[in-house]
Protein backbone atom coordinates (compact mmCIF):
# COMPACT_ATOMS: atom_id res chain seq x y z
CA UNK A 1 0.00 0.00 0.00
CA UNK A 2 1.31 3.41 -0.93
CA UNK A 3 2.11 5.66 2.03
CA UNK A 4 0.49 9.09 2.04
CA UNK A 5 1.74 12.06 4.07
CA UNK A 6 -0.01 12.62 7.40
CA UNK A 7 -2.27 15.60 7.92
CA UNK A 8 -0.88 18.69 9.65
CA UNK A 9 -2.92 17.91 12.74
CA UNK A 10 -1.65 14.32 12.81
CA UNK A 11 1.92 15.60 12.63
CA UNK A 12 1.21 17.93 15.52
CA UNK A 13 -0.06 15.00 17.57
CA UNK A 14 2.93 12.84 16.68
CA UNK A 15 5.35 15.57 17.66
CA UNK A 16 3.74 15.91 21.06
CA UNK A 17 1.85 19.03 20.05
CA UNK A 18 4.90 21.08 20.91
CA UNK A 19 5.54 22.68 17.53
CA UNK A 20 4.09 25.84 16.08
CA UNK A 21 2.54 25.42 12.66
CA UNK A 22 2.58 28.39 10.28
CA UNK A 23 -0.75 30.03 9.63
CA UNK A 24 -3.99 29.42 11.41
CA UNK A 25 -4.21 25.91 12.92
CA UNK A 26 -6.73 23.52 11.45
CA UNK A 27 -9.59 22.24 13.61
CA UNK A 28 -8.62 18.94 15.17
CA UNK A 29 -10.86 16.09 14.02
CA UNK A 30 -11.09 12.51 15.19
CA UNK A 31 -9.46 11.51 11.90
CA UNK A 32 -6.21 13.11 13.06
CA UNK A 33 -5.95 10.59 15.88
CA UNK A 34 -6.83 7.73 13.56
CA UNK A 35 -4.03 8.96 11.29
CA UNK A 36 -1.58 9.00 14.19
CA UNK A 37 -2.03 5.40 15.32
CA UNK A 38 -0.69 3.63 12.19
CA UNK A 39 2.21 6.08 12.00
CA UNK A 40 3.32 5.41 15.55
CA UNK A 41 2.75 1.68 15.06
CA UNK A 42 5.08 1.75 12.05
CA UNK A 43 7.72 3.57 14.10
CA UNK A 44 7.42 0.99 16.89
CA UNK A 45 7.80 -1.88 14.46
CA UNK A 46 10.91 -0.24 13.05
CA UNK A 47 12.35 0.21 16.56
CA UNK A 48 12.19 -3.53 17.24
CA UNK A 49 11.49 -5.29 20.56
CA UNK A 50 9.83 -4.56 22.89
CA UNK A 51 8.13 -1.75 20.99
CA UNK A 52 7.31 -3.87 17.96
CA UNK A 53 5.45 -6.19 20.33
CA UNK A 54 3.38 -3.26 21.59
CA UNK A 55 2.34 -2.49 18.03
CA UNK A 56 1.57 -6.15 17.34
CA UNK A 57 -0.78 -6.21 20.34
CA UNK A 58 -2.72 -3.28 18.92
CA UNK A 59 -1.74 -0.72 21.54
CA UNK A 60 -2.41 2.83 20.38
CA UNK A 61 0.02 5.72 20.72
CA UNK A 62 -0.26 9.38 19.77
CA UNK A 63 3.48 9.82 20.21
CA UNK A 64 6.42 7.45 20.02
CA UNK A 65 10.03 8.63 20.02
CA UNK A 66 12.74 6.11 20.98
CA UNK A 67 15.61 8.61 20.90
CA UNK A 68 17.42 9.46 24.12
CA UNK A 69 15.32 8.57 27.15
CA UNK A 70 12.36 8.37 24.77
CA UNK A 71 8.86 9.79 24.75
CA UNK A 72 5.48 8.14 24.36
CA UNK A 73 1.79 8.93 24.76
CA UNK A 74 -0.42 5.85 24.97
CA UNK A 75 -4.21 6.03 24.65
CA UNK A 76 -6.57 3.74 26.56
CA UNK A 77 -10.16 4.08 25.43
CA UNK A 78 -11.59 5.88 22.41
CA UNK A 79 -10.61 9.53 22.00
CA UNK A 80 -13.06 9.87 19.13
CA UNK A 81 -16.02 9.50 21.50
CA UNK A 82 -14.65 10.25 24.98
CA UNK A 83 -16.37 12.94 27.02
CA UNK A 84 -14.08 12.32 30.00
CA UNK A 85 -10.34 12.40 29.32
CA UNK A 86 -7.58 11.82 31.87
CA UNK A 87 -3.97 12.81 31.17
CA UNK A 88 -1.53 11.07 33.51
CA UNK A 89 1.91 12.71 33.86
CA UNK A 90 4.75 10.67 35.46
CA UNK A 91 7.68 12.06 37.40
CA UNK A 92 11.36 11.51 38.13
CA UNK A 93 13.10 8.70 36.29
CA UNK A 94 10.31 8.00 33.80
CA UNK A 95 11.74 6.76 30.50
CA UNK A 96 10.46 4.89 27.49
CA UNK A 97 12.53 1.88 28.53
CA UNK A 98 10.59 1.69 31.80
CA UNK A 99 7.22 2.76 30.36
CA UNK A 100 5.82 -0.76 30.85
CA UNK A 101 8.03 -2.27 33.55
CA UNK A 102 8.56 0.70 35.88
CA UNK A 103 11.70 2.28 37.29
CA UNK A 104 13.89 -0.43 38.77
CA UNK A 105 11.50 -3.07 37.48
CA UNK A 106 8.79 -2.02 39.97
CA UNK A 107 5.56 -2.32 37.99
CA UNK A 108 3.51 0.09 40.10
CA UNK A 109 5.88 2.87 38.97
CA UNK A 110 5.24 2.25 35.26
CA UNK A 111 3.18 4.93 33.47
CA UNK A 112 1.45 2.29 31.33
CA UNK A 113 0.55 0.18 34.37
CA UNK A 114 -0.80 3.19 36.28
CA UNK A 115 -2.85 4.35 33.29
CA UNK A 116 -4.38 0.90 32.83
CA UNK A 117 -5.28 0.74 36.52
CA UNK A 118 -6.95 4.15 36.32
CA UNK A 119 -8.82 3.26 33.14
CA UNK A 120 -10.11 0.02 34.65
CA UNK A 121 -11.11 1.80 37.87
CA UNK A 122 -13.10 4.36 35.88
CA UNK A 123 -14.86 1.61 33.96
CA UNK A 124 -15.66 -0.12 37.24
CA UNK A 125 -17.19 3.07 38.65
CA UNK A 126 -19.24 3.53 35.45
CA UNK A 127 -19.10 0.69 32.88
CA UNK A 128 -20.86 2.87 30.34
CA UNK A 129 -18.55 5.84 30.72
CA UNK A 130 -17.03 7.27 27.56
CA UNK A 131 -13.61 7.75 29.07
CA UNK A 132 -10.07 7.79 27.70
CA UNK A 133 -6.83 7.78 29.69
CA UNK A 134 -3.54 9.02 28.27
CA UNK A 135 -0.25 7.79 29.73
CA UNK A 136 1.62 10.99 28.87
CA UNK A 137 5.39 10.62 28.80
CA UNK A 138 5.68 13.58 26.46
CA UNK A 139 8.70 15.16 28.11
CA UNK A 140 12.23 14.34 29.22
CA UNK A 141 11.75 13.66 32.93
CA UNK A 142 14.61 14.32 35.37
CA UNK A 143 16.91 11.34 35.76
CA UNK A 144 17.10 11.51 39.54
CA UNK A 145 16.32 13.48 42.69
CA UNK A 146 19.19 15.92 42.24
CA UNK A 147 18.15 16.68 38.67
CA UNK A 148 14.61 17.21 39.93
CA UNK A 149 15.67 19.88 42.42
CA UNK A 150 15.04 22.58 39.82
CA UNK A 151 12.04 23.40 37.61
CA UNK A 152 13.72 23.54 34.18
CA UNK A 153 12.56 20.09 33.03
CA UNK A 154 9.06 20.84 34.31
CA UNK A 155 8.81 24.07 32.33
CA UNK A 156 9.82 22.26 29.15
CA UNK A 157 7.39 19.45 29.90
CA UNK A 158 4.58 21.89 30.66
CA UNK A 159 5.01 23.56 27.27
CA UNK A 160 4.58 20.21 25.51
CA UNK A 161 1.69 19.24 27.78
CA UNK A 162 -0.16 22.48 27.07
CA UNK A 163 0.07 21.70 23.37
CA UNK A 164 -1.48 18.29 23.94
CA UNK A 165 -4.26 19.80 26.04
CA UNK A 166 -5.07 22.34 23.34
CA UNK A 167 -5.30 19.60 20.76
CA UNK A 168 -7.62 17.60 23.00
CA UNK A 169 -9.77 20.68 23.56
CA UNK A 170 -10.01 21.24 19.82
CA UNK A 171 -10.78 17.59 19.16
CA UNK A 172 -13.40 17.15 21.89
CA UNK A 173 -14.52 20.65 22.95
CA UNK A 174 -17.36 19.29 25.07
CA UNK A 175 -15.15 16.79 26.93
CA UNK A 176 -13.93 17.38 30.45
CA UNK A 177 -10.20 16.84 30.99
CA UNK A 178 -8.57 15.82 34.26
CA UNK A 179 -4.83 16.30 34.70
CA UNK A 180 -3.15 13.82 37.05
CA UNK A 181 0.48 14.44 38.00
CA UNK A 182 2.58 12.12 40.13
CA UNK A 183 5.63 13.39 42.02
CA UNK A 184 7.57 15.74 39.69
CA UNK A 185 4.76 15.20 37.20
CA UNK A 186 2.54 17.24 39.54
CA UNK A 187 4.83 20.21 38.91
CA UNK A 188 4.58 19.67 35.14
CA UNK A 189 0.79 19.42 35.38
CA UNK A 190 0.52 22.51 37.57
CA UNK A 191 2.64 24.66 35.28
CA UNK A 192 0.62 23.48 32.28
CA UNK A 193 -2.70 24.09 34.04
CA UNK A 194 -2.06 27.80 34.51
CA UNK A 195 -2.63 28.48 30.80
CA UNK A 196 -4.62 25.35 29.97
CA UNK A 197 -7.91 25.40 28.03
CA UNK A 198 -11.14 25.67 30.00
CA UNK A 199 -11.84 22.00 29.24
CA UNK A 200 -9.30 21.15 31.97
CA UNK A 201 -11.64 21.17 34.95
CA UNK A 202 -9.61 19.19 37.50
CA UNK A 203 -5.96 18.95 38.49
CA UNK A 204 -4.95 16.01 40.68
CA UNK A 205 -1.55 15.73 42.36
CA UNK A 206 -0.29 12.46 43.83
CA UNK A 207 2.75 12.75 46.07
CA UNK A 208 3.37 16.08 44.38
CA UNK A 209 6.63 17.93 44.98
CA UNK A 210 5.00 21.20 43.93
CA UNK A 211 2.57 22.71 41.46
CA UNK A 212 4.37 25.83 40.26
CA UNK A 213 2.20 28.06 42.45
CA UNK A 214 1.77 28.36 46.22
CA UNK A 215 -2.03 28.26 46.26
CA UNK A 216 -4.55 26.11 44.43
CA UNK A 217 -6.38 29.20 43.16
CA UNK A 218 -3.31 30.02 41.07
CA UNK A 219 -4.01 27.03 38.80
CA UNK A 220 -7.06 28.69 37.26
CA UNK A 221 -10.33 30.24 38.33
CA UNK A 222 -13.02 27.65 38.94
CA UNK A 223 -10.62 24.77 38.46
CA UNK A 224 -10.86 22.03 41.08
CA UNK A 225 -7.51 21.02 42.58
CA UNK A 226 -7.00 17.76 44.46
CA UNK A 227 -4.03 16.34 46.36
CA UNK A 228 -3.07 13.00 47.88
CA UNK A 229 -0.05 12.41 50.08
CA UNK A 230 0.41 9.13 51.93
CA UNK A 231 1.64 9.30 55.55
CA UNK A 232 4.79 7.35 54.66
CA UNK A 233 5.55 9.16 51.39
CA UNK A 234 9.13 10.47 51.49
CA UNK A 235 8.00 13.56 49.56
CA UNK A 236 6.90 14.95 52.94
CA UNK A 237 10.57 15.50 53.79
CA UNK A 238 11.20 17.79 50.82
CA UNK A 239 11.57 21.37 52.12
CA UNK A 240 8.96 23.79 50.71
CA UNK A 241 11.43 26.34 49.35
CA UNK A 242 11.60 28.13 46.03
CA UNK A 243 14.78 29.92 45.01
CA UNK A 244 15.96 30.85 41.50
CA UNK A 245 16.50 27.49 39.80
CA UNK A 246 16.05 25.50 43.01
CA UNK A 247 13.02 24.13 44.83
CA UNK A 248 9.33 24.01 44.03
CA UNK A 249 7.63 25.84 46.87
CA UNK A 250 4.66 24.61 48.85
CA UNK A 251 3.56 21.03 48.24
CA UNK A 252 -0.02 20.65 46.98
CA UNK A 253 -0.92 18.46 49.98
CA UNK A 254 0.03 21.24 52.42
CA UNK A 255 -3.27 22.42 53.96
CA UNK A 256 -2.26 26.04 53.29
CA UNK A 257 -2.10 25.28 49.56
CA UNK A 258 -5.87 24.90 49.50
CA UNK A 259 -6.31 21.70 47.48
CA UNK A 260 -9.09 19.25 48.24
CA UNK A 261 -7.67 16.24 50.06
CA UNK A 262 -8.05 12.82 48.48
CA UNK A 263 -8.26 9.66 50.61
CA UNK A 264 -5.05 7.65 50.90
CA UNK A 265 -6.28 4.45 52.57
CA UNK A 266 -4.38 1.56 51.00
CA UNK A 267 -1.77 3.82 49.37
CA UNK A 268 1.75 2.99 50.48
CA UNK A 269 4.89 5.08 50.07
CA UNK A 270 5.56 7.33 47.11
CA UNK A 271 4.41 4.96 44.37
CA UNK A 272 1.24 3.37 45.77
CA UNK A 273 -1.46 5.86 44.81
CA UNK A 274 -2.68 4.18 41.63
CA UNK A 275 -2.35 0.60 42.83
CA UNK A 276 -5.58 -1.43 42.57
CA UNK A 277 -7.26 -1.48 45.96
CA UNK A 278 -6.11 1.95 47.11
CA UNK A 279 -8.75 4.51 48.03
CA UNK A 280 -6.79 7.06 46.03
CA UNK A 281 -7.22 5.14 42.78
CA UNK A 282 -10.99 4.90 43.27
CA UNK A 283 -11.16 8.58 44.22
CA UNK A 284 -9.20 9.76 41.18
CA UNK A 285 -11.48 7.70 38.94
CA UNK A 286 -14.49 9.33 40.62
CA UNK A 287 -13.03 12.81 40.14
CA UNK A 288 -12.38 12.10 36.47
CA UNK A 289 -15.95 10.95 35.89
CA UNK A 290 -17.95 13.24 38.17
CA UNK A 291 -15.70 16.03 39.43
CA UNK A 292 -16.36 14.92 43.00
CA UNK A 293 -15.48 12.33 45.64
CA UNK A 294 -18.07 11.07 48.10
CA UNK A 295 -16.94 10.85 51.73
CA UNK A 296 -16.82 8.01 52.45
CA UNK A 297 -16.67 6.61 48.94
CA UNK A 298 -20.03 5.10 48.11
CA UNK A 299 -21.81 3.42 45.25
CA UNK A 300 -19.71 2.02 42.44
CA UNK A 301 -16.61 3.91 43.59
CA UNK A 302 -16.91 2.23 46.97
CA UNK A 303 -17.43 -1.09 45.22
CA UNK A 304 -13.95 -0.72 43.71
CA UNK A 305 -12.57 -0.73 47.25
CA UNK A 306 -14.89 -3.40 48.56
CA UNK A 307 -13.88 -5.77 45.78
CA UNK A 308 -10.25 -5.25 46.73
CA UNK A 309 -10.90 -5.76 50.43
CA UNK A 310 -10.10 -2.18 51.46
CA UNK A 311 -12.08 -0.86 54.42
CA UNK A 312 -14.08 2.29 53.74
Query: What's the N-to-C CA distance of the chain in angstroms?
Result: 56
pLDDT of 282 reads: 96
In a domain, 42, yes or no: no
pLDDT of 19 reads: 36
Task: Note whether 284 and 262 are within 8 A (CB).
Answer: yes
In a domain, 139, yes or no: yes
pLDDT of 235 reads: 80
pLDDT of 26 reads: 35
pLDDT of 236 reads: 78
In a domain, 194, yes or no: yes
What 3-state class would DSSP assign to 103?
A: helix
Look up the domain containing 275 and give its range.
62-308
pLDDT of 305 reads: 47
In a domain, 248, yes or no: yes
pLDDT of 274 reads: 97
In a domain, 34, yes or no: no
Domain count, the chain: 1
pLDDT of 311 reads: 39
CATH number at 175 reads 3.40.50.1820
In a domain, 108, yes or no: yes
Low-confidence ranges of the chain (pLDDT < 70): 1-32, 144-150, 239-249, 294-312
Asked if the peptide bond before residue 50 counts as cis, ω within 30 degrees of 0, the response is yes
Q: How far is CA 298 from CA 60, 128, 160, 174, 226, in A?
A: 33, 18, 37, 27, 19
pTM recorded for the entire structure: 0.85
CB atoms within 10 A of CB 58: 8
Amino acid sequence: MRWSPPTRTALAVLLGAGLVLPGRPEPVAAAAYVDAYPLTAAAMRAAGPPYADWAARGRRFLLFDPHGDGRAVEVLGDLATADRIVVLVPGVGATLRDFDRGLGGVARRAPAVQARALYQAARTVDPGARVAVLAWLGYDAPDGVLAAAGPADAHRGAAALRGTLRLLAGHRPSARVTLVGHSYGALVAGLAAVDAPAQVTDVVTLGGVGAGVDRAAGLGAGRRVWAAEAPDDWIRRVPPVRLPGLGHGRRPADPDFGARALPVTGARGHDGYLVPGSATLAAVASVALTGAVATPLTGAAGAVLAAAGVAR
